[in-house]
Structure 1
Amino acid sequence: MRFRVLGPVRVAPRTPTAAKPRAVLATLLIQSDKVVSTHTLIDELWGTEPPRTATTTLQVYVSQVRRVLLEGEPDGRQPLITRPPGYLLRVAPDDLDLTVFERLRETGRAAYARRDYAEASRRLREALALWTGPALSGIPHGPTLQTSAIRLDELRAEVLEQGIAAELRLGRHQELVGELMALTREQPLRESLQGHLMVALYRSGRQSEALAVYRRARRSLVDELGVEPSPALRKLQERILTSDPSLTWRPAAPDTPSRTPAPTVPQDAPAVRLPSPLPDFTGRTAELGLGERFLAGTGPVDSRVLAVSGRPGAGKTAFAARLAQAAGDRFPDARVLLTLRDSGGRALSAEAVMAGLLRVLEVPPGPEAAEDLLHARTRGRKMLFVLDDAVSEAQVRPALSVLSDSTVVLTSRHALGALEGVQHLVLDVLNRADAEALLANCGGTAMSEDPASTAEIARLCGGLPLALRVAAAGLVARPHWTPAELARRLADERGRLAALRLGDLDVRGSLLTAYRDVDADNRHAFRVLGLAPLPDFALWSAGALLAADLPEAERRVEELVRARLLEAVRRPDRLTPVRYGFHSLLRGLALEVLAEESPQQAPPATDRLCRAYATLTRHADGLLAPGRDLMPAASAPPAGLDPAAVVGPAPLRWFQEEAPGLLETVRQAHRAGLWRQCAALASAAGGYYEANALWADWQESHELGLDAAREADDSLAEAVLLRSLADLEWQRHHPGAARDLYRLAWQLFTRSGHRVGAGRCLTGEADVLLGLGRVARAERSYARALSVARTEGDPRGEADAVRGLALVAQREGRLREALDRLAVCGAAAGRVGDERWRAYAGRRAAAVSALPEAPLASQPLEVRPGVWLFPDA
């Protein structure tokens, strides 16, 4: 094989001679086929004192590694590619010793689980033969390599121990004695090796030596750690003292038929002991109180099973372990935790769960069915079982039926609602105060001294406990970073998950487990829905992105909600009572896997979303401000989208709910180069922005739309957007800028032969002139605009122009003329169906009727619906 990290780092045909390029290569190899950020590589190379030229120097090292890698590629294809926020090294499975080792390890473990000990021994010894020394040796270690080296050496020890266990079951105890004596001298605190040596000696007829091994092991543990040997090692000593017949080796007999197949016991099932509770466990006061009442039997539901559910990274295991540790007095017979996945993250079968329970309870296999063995072991005893990371009701239902006398805490991402007689508890993300407290508890004094940055880190982590812990640990591991620097790195959504990785603590990996648990159709839906607008989206948005009708879209999003990959929020007071959204880190993951696995899906999905938004926005704008829109449809709407059903009779409410997503979609359209869609969508929202004085959104959307119109060489769209921006400048009391924009828009409308648009620009310019006190010039411009509107049959333009003439008449004291003009304005607004403008005309007429005969010219005027002019301002 070409690459080696299980020992000195090597690459064929030539290894880089300098240490730092080798460290770069090693860091990329242990995370092969994953993006390694430049920040991670810089930390690995220089630690707490990176030079100012770190980024440039890293690029030099990467170039050196690329040259070396290219020498071994027969097709000349470069395996090391740049992929933001760093680099990705593609390695064939058989080219890296670590990949081969892990494959052999899994094969050996599977063979052990099915009791094929000869095959297990062979595969595990083949895995060990790949090692040529301590992992990742011969290079300087930063935080990532150091953590990885420790993890790999621990895996090596685990494989060695399981291989020895298989060989003991094959009767090779005499051959193993010498090897085990050497291993126990090297690692005197590793109790499993001591136990294997005791068994090998006893089976070799050396009982006294086996007991001497126990005494030496106990002395080492007491002297070094101040602890007694584990219950398992103490029990083994007792069995040797009493010459327990079951310790004697016998050749394996054929399986005895029984009502159910003999259970297989996965070797990676956890030990009897519970994991140590986190010393800095923070928050969850209410949830802990509910859990403690459940364990005490005083909860609101008479149940013996508590199902704790929550999204990946919510801290379900830590929560369950804390509950179990605190309940020791209530369960004196046993408190055990069983993980319901194997070491590769795959879910255990229901049969393997039963076998795992037998193992943690140290029940020797026999001819009886697993159900009978477990029932006999637990009947009438006070036991607490934590079944961690369940994937379905079917996986745990057989175990729950057997553990009828025991108390069970289940953890799962799913709610497991089909289980009968279960009390449910959902762990959400931490609230703001608890999230900041967790960062302060785990991140040292730096977090406490910068509360503003701590609050921002908590927000960017979305209150997810795992992300908060990794962020805090990263700051502790890199004392040259400040909380402000960490917050800055986390601010980039597309690089956020890369920043939340430290050694084998990887938020992305935890979230990926949930993603990989769902089927292919739902993984596709998860990826594509990452393009949905923030902060949340309606079902029609999902339908557009997925190119699905509403029933199919609803089925997909509800399945993702159940898998905790999406969130559903019910707001009965909203026009759309149920909306969907991502936790911020899960949205980042969705965009990452979309870019990695199916980037070709993004452009058409974004196009469908933009077309749907444009269709609905134009429809809503037509109800809110009939006749305002001058843009032709950019493209056909997605099939099956019914604007009347989505918007209903409440366009203002629809706009209010969709405004954040609308602006985000304008941004997406611009980023995707969907120029005509971007321009049309921005233009369609102008009426809503004006009516609600949303100046910042108005400006951002229209500037993006204007740029898009120019990219598309669409002079009509450019003119429409320029006129709307002129309205914005006028409302902001920037008359010079407004007049320039009106004139530029007029020129473009005229050049395009669009007389209606040109006439409306004349009205806008007249408003500017009126505000500047140039009443006569304003009147002439209003009159020209009115003539164009009537000639072109534009009732909305007519209502707007005659409204201006009414204002002029009022300013000049011609109150009867002003009233007549306002009547014409109201009639024109009625013809176009704009109730807002018709009401404005009536409101202004009432105000004029109440004026004295000679009104002051400086009196404020409502010049448009909801828009006031203060001449002295």
Structure 2
Amino acid sequence: MRFRVLGPVRVSPRTPTAAKPRAVLATLLIQNDKVVSTHTLIDELWGTEPPRTATTTLQVYVSQVRRVLLEGEPDGRQPLITRPPGYLLRVSPDDFDLAVFERLRDSGRAAFARRDYAEASRQLREALSLWTGPALSGIPHGPTLQTSAIRLEELRAEVLEQSISADLRLGRHQELVGELMALTREQPLRESLQGHLMVALYRSGRQSEALEVYRRARRSLVDELGVEPSPALRKLHERILTSDPALAWRPTADPTPRPAQPRDVPVVRLPAPLPDFTGRTTELGHAERFLAGTGPVDSRVLAVSGRPGAGKTAFAARLAHSSGDRFPDARVLLTLRDAGGRALAPEAVITALLRTLEAPHASGAPADVLHARTRGRKMLLILDDAVSEAQVRPVLAALPDATVILTSRHALGALEGVQHLVLDVLGRAEAEALLMNCGGAAMADDPEATAEIARLCGGLPLALRVAAAALAARPHWTAADLARRLADERGRLAALRVGDLDVRGSLLTAYRDVTEDNRHAFRVLGLAPLPDFALWSAAALLATDPAEAERRVEDLVQARLLEAVRRPDRLTPVRYGFHALLRGLALDVLAEESPHHTSPATARLAEAFLTLTRHADARLAPSRDLMPPPATAPPALAPEDIVGPSPLRWFREESPGLLETIRQTHRAGLWHLCTALASAAAGYYEAAALWSDWQESHELALDAARETEDLLAEAVVLRSLADLEWQRHHPNAARDLYRLAWQLFTRAGHRVGAGRCLSGEADVLLGLGRVARAERNYARALSVARTEADPRGEADAERGLALVAQREGRLPEAHSRLTACATAAARAGDERWHAYATRRAATVTESAGVTQPLEVRPGVWLFPES
């Protein structure tokens, strides 16, 4: 055999002497006949910190491997070719020990399944004889080779155990005792080997030694793992204790195997089961009821759908592995795409099924042959990664009796007589459990970081597995280290790649499956505000009308690239959003493919938000905002329909997205939009007491105003920040900001703004007990408001003078001032301030209010110093 990986990596006639070229060869061999990307090879050789010359150095190593491979090719054909995005190695299965091993393993398992134990033992022992040491030894292991070595050693153990099972059934128990004693000393925690040794000793007349094996095995399990033996091993112990007659070996009535008929040979073509499969209890129960024929619908087809990385294939394989008794004729998984990710035609799927089911050559249409091959048989066929209903309809028609599980990113809702099951992301507890199961001690030692990793992966099973593998491949990392790397949304997908496990690549398949119009929509909608967005936001980002925006958004929902959430209690009952990892992908591909769309799309979204926010603010607090209207024409929106009669309700729903849009305008350098949006939102932030949002948005807006040297915008923002400091009971900071804002309003020639700053500073002075100075400021503010015809400023100043009068005991004057405040608020159209002034006027009493809390602005109370 020319190529060997089942032991030290070797190739005849000459093996590369340097370790890294051997590692390149091994990585290509493990992926024989598949393209291995340059990134995967670099990651394998140098990990996460490759040298600057990594690509050039890799090319040198590949050249060395090519020279070695060419020496063994009599016809001069080069088996290693360049195939973007990397390299492809094609070697004959007969020349490759791993391919021969897998062929012997499959034929040995098939012989075992048909109870031809002699043939099974021969084939499996021949497979084991190919091993010359630990798999892939003699070379450094990166993530791909490390994972592959673990998988191959597990396959070796599986084949060894099955060969021992075959030998035990052939009565070779005495010959097995020595081998099993050595194996159990090497692997004391492998219960299946302990059980085989107990059976071999018992059948050899050594019952006491068999019981001693159990005692030692139990002690090892308790001491090392803190667990009792499995129920199967405990049951075997009880049977040996009671000398169960059924445990003794008896030769079969006819030890000569008879030629098996095709239907007697089970065809099993399934990926290896995941040993750490976690969760999905409810979904598995539903699927098992379907397989048992006890589900709510009489159907033979189960369509399992879900986003990329949701674990649909692993879920289906798990079902198949646990259903051998129900489907003795065949259990097969067939992928419905080619190596390039393109959908197979229905005819190609049928032909591939015939080949997989080992159907004899027969004349006639392939669909008819498949129909005849599967008729009356108990078969479970998994058609994995279906693209559309049209792809699978002809296949299902050729499988009238087989039970079929379809997996697809789409719901395949147009198929008739099908049960549907959707796999969503894992819940918090299941996601954390999966990380613990896959990531080992590093995850278990830091449950807080593990919970954060689960959150950042969005509960997506593939991402969780890759995150755990990334940690296992880097023992110098902690779970907290990984969580920090995943916290950066722009770099998260890059961190979720280990060897050939690549979350980004999996998600890209769904992106590439949709039309170019929808790919464009997916990219641009990555700029939509978090955590979700309404349809008007999509229309603004995509520069289209709402009907076209809805069509594209719904297409993306059907492709599992977007999520739709229905909330009947919300003003906008249907809202859209991204899974955390898909939003990262959208931003990635936008930066790569459409970077020039970012700023215009952000501007369109901000202009739409500004139109709606100014409309809602004008309903909530008319004439409060002193920023001039935007110079550009607003987008074609219907604010009355979108905001509706309750501006507070609209603000509550859109506030997170509004703040995110303010951040985006600042990042994009859209300075005027940044200041205008923050100013328009200030009234809601005050009414809802959203101090942190108020602070963040206005700090960004202040920076934007200073970038453009816009005195008026800076003054507006500073006055709003002064209001915030006053409400936070920071009087000195508030007074300084009011004075600075007054100076800027005055320099800008904006007397209305300057007058309102006087009322604000007076509020601070009144709270500090400087009543006379406060009264002078209120009076100056009132004079300015009347001169400038500013009814809102007038209402504010009258309110302040009423507070002074009440504090000084001039109650009739306080009542008169509050009445004047209500009149001015009515002229301004501000129902909230009008109700406040009317309410206060009705409650002015004999008390001067010095020792009682006062409502000094609508919803804002001043508590006296104790």
Normalising by structure 1, report the TM-score: 0.75
Q: 1:292 to 1:185 in 2, by over 3 A?
A: closer
2: distance between equivalents of 1:355 and 1:466?
A: 30
**Conserved in 1, the CA contact under 8 Å of 2:806 and 2:849?**
no
Is 1:833 aligned to 2:801, yes or no? no
Q: Distance in 2 between matches of 1:282 and 1:194?
A: 27
2:126 is matched with which residue? 220
2:439 — aligned with what? 443
Query: Structure 1 residue 276: deviation in Å?
Result: 2.2
Q: Which amino acid in 2 is paired with 1:630?
A: L
Structure 2 counterparts to residues 850-861 of structure 1, below 5 A: 851-852=845-846, 854-861=847-854
2: CA distance, partners of 1:381 / 1:749: 86
Q: Number of residue pairs matched?
A: 703
**Contact conserved, 1:611 with 1:635, CA < 8 A, in 2?**
no
**Counterpart for residue 865 of structure 2:** 872
Residues 763 and 580 from structure 1, CA distance in 2 versus in 1: closer, same or farther, beyond 3 angstroms? same
Residue pair 1:392, 1:414 contacting (<8 A) in 2 also: yes
Map residues 129-528 of structure 1 onto 2, 5 A cutoff.
129-131=78-80, 156=89, 159-161=91-93, 183=95, 189-191=101-103, 219-221=125-127, 225-226=159-160, 227=162, 272-528=268-524
Q: Following superposition of structure 1 onto structure 2, how do residues 525-604 of structure 1 map, counting pairs within 5 Å? A: 525-604=521-600
Structure 1 residue 369 displacement after superposition: 1.0
| 1:788 has 2:777 as partner | no
Conserved 8 A contact 1:191-1:217: no
- Structure 1 letter corresponding to 2:796: D
Aligned partner of residue 640 in structure 2, secondary structure: helix
Q: Is the 8 A contact 2:530 2:656 kept in 1?
A: yes
Write the deviation string for residues 358-391 of structure 1: whole angstroms up to 9, x where unpaired.
1121123433112211111122222111111111
Distance 1:325 1:193, change over 3 A: closer
Q: Secondary structure at the match of 1:189?
A: helix
Task: Tell me whether 1:744 sits opposite 2:740 in the alignment.
Answer: yes
Task: Check whether the contact 1:128–1:156 (CA below 8 A) recurs between aligned residues.
Answer: no
Q: Distance in 2 between matches of 1:34 and 1:868?
A: 65
Q: 1:430 to 1:128 in 2, by over 3 A?
A: farther
CA displacement at 1:189 relative to structure 2: 2.2
Aligned to 1:419, what secondary structure does the other structure show?
Answer: coil
What is residue 801 of structure 2 aligned with on the other side? 805
Counterpart amino acid of residue 156 in structure 1: L
* CA deviation profile, 1:275-319 (whole Å, cap 9, x unmatched): 222111111111111111111111112211111110000000111
Q: Alpha-carbon deviation of 1:404?
A: 1.8
- Counterpart Cα distance in 2 of 1:337 and 1:125: 37
With normalisation by structure 2, the TM-score equals 0.76
Q: Identify if the C-alpha distance between structure 1 residues 422 and 529 changes in structure 2 by more than 3 Å, giving closer, same or farther.
A: same
Alpha carbons 1:184, 1:194 under 8 Å: kept: no
Structure 1 pair 486–21 and aligned structure 2 pair: CA distance change class (3 A): farther
Distance (whole Å) between structure 2 residues aligned to residue 288 and residue 65 of structure 1: 45
Cα distance in 2 for residues equivalent to 1:763 and 1:805: 10
Shift of 1:635: 3.9
After superposition, the C-alpha distances for 1:92-130 in whole angstroms (9 at most, x for unaligned) are xxx9989xx9xxxxxxxxxxxxxxxxxxxxxx9999615
Determine the C-alpha separation between the residues in 2 that align with 1:755 and 1:350.
Answer: 76
When residues 127 and 832 of structure 1 are mapped into structure 2, their CA distance, relative to the original with a 3 A threshold, is: farther
Q: Sort the Cα spacing of 1:742 and 1:23 in 2 relative to 1 into closer, same or farther, 3 A.
A: farther
In 1, distance between residues paired with 2:369 and 2:98?
A: 39
Deviation of 1:644 after TM superposition, in Å, equals 1.6
Distance in 2, matches of 1:186 and 1:823, equals: 93
C-alpha distance in structure 2 between counterparts of 1:618 and 1:127, whole Å:
75
Q: Provide the rounded CA distance (Å) in 1 between the counterparts of 2:799 and 2:479.
A: 57
| Partner Cα separation in structure 2 for residue 741 and residue 530 of structure 1 | 37
* Separation in structure 2 between the aligned mates of residue 573 and residue 344 of structure 1, nearest angstrom: 45
* 1:333 shift after superposition: 1.7
Distance 2:465 2:390 in 1: 33
Deviation at 1:597, TM superposition (A): 1.2
Change (3 A) 1:486 1:841: same
What value does the CA root-mean-square deviation take over the aligned residues?
A: 3.7
For 2:691 and 2:644, how far apart are their aligned partners in 1?
26
Conserved in 1, the CA contact under 8 Å of 2:382 and 2:405?
Answer: yes
Q: Alignment partner of 2:80: what SS?
A: coil
Secondary structure, in 3 states, of the residue corresponding to 1:341? coil
Counterpart amino acid of 2:103? Answer: E
Return the match for 2:676 from 659, 674, 680.
Answer: 680
Query: 2:772 corresponds to which letter in structure 1?
Result: A
Tell me the CA shift for residue 345 of structure 1.
Answer: 1.2
| Residue pair 1:188, 1:220 contacting (<8 A) in 2 also | no
The 8 Å contact of residues 522 and 559 in structure 1, kept in 2 or not, is answered as: yes
Q: Deviations over 1:736-772 (max 9, x none)?
A: 1101111111111111111111110011011001000
Cα distance in 1 for residues equivalent to 2:745 and 2:538:
37
- The 1:675/1:866 distance shift into structure 2, 3 A limit, reads same
Q: 1:363 to 1:715 in 2, by over 3 A?
A: same
8 Å CA contact 1:350, 1:398 repeated in 2: yes
Q: CA deviation at 1:228?
A: 6.1
| TM-fit CA distance, 1:858 | 2.6
2:728 counterpart (717, 720, 732): 732
- Give the fraction of aligned pairs with identical amino acids, expressed as a percent: 71
Question: What are the superposed Cα offsets for residues 646-673 of structure 1, whole Å, 9 maximum, x if unpaired?
Answer: 1111111110000000000000000000
Contact 2:105/2:124, CA 8 A, preserved across alignment: no
* CA shift digits 1:776-798 (9 cap, x unpaired): 11111001111111111111111
